[in-house]
Amino acid sequence: MAKFNKKTYLCNALFIALYVESADFEKIIYKLNFIFMTLAEFQQELRQGIPSVLPEPQPWDDSVNHAPKRKDILTKAEKELAVRNALRYFDPKFHSVLAPEFAEELTKYGRIYMYRFRPTYKMYARPIEEYPAKCRQAAAIMLMIQNNLDPALNTLTNLLHMVEMVLCSKTGLNTVWR
């Protein structure tokens, strides 16, 4: 039996996506990255924090439950303030790209979720030793957060809108609850 090779698998997925009429290549690659992330890649992503290079926008995933759109109750000034507040976490060189994106999210969903920054790794609790932390307590916190966001363990997935909770946990914007 041939040894598993991530590149070969991705090439096969590309081949399938190109020849299957209904396939969405971006979604296939996105899902494959979930499955085949190495421990080093996972630790690197956790360590990076706010990236120095903008990740590509991620495709909308219809296969997961999303939070409902909130009512449009903010004034124009409050919406501008919300976008400015979201931008303060990022290098000013990215503001021209992110400002319209965040404004669109605010209009479309009633919140700024920063979907572009959704984690690319599968959300589940790993062994505590796999978390890149300076102390065991910090690793335990990361483990507990990921355990709570694991759709396989969470029986309330449909009620909790996991995608938005993950984004709020990753970005530190704990505003998913009304």
Q: What amino acid is encoded at 12 in this protein?
A: N
pLDDT at 46: 86
List the chain domain ranges: 1-36, 39-49+119-178, 68-110
The CA distance from 162 to 123, in Å, is: 10
The CA distance from 15 to 19, in Å, is: 6
25/79: higher pLDDT: 79
CA angle (64, 123, 62) in 5-degree steps: 15
pLDDT tens digits for range 134-149: 999 999 999 998 888 7
| pTM reported for the whole predicted model | 0.64
Using a pLDDT cut of 70, give the percent of the chain over it: 66
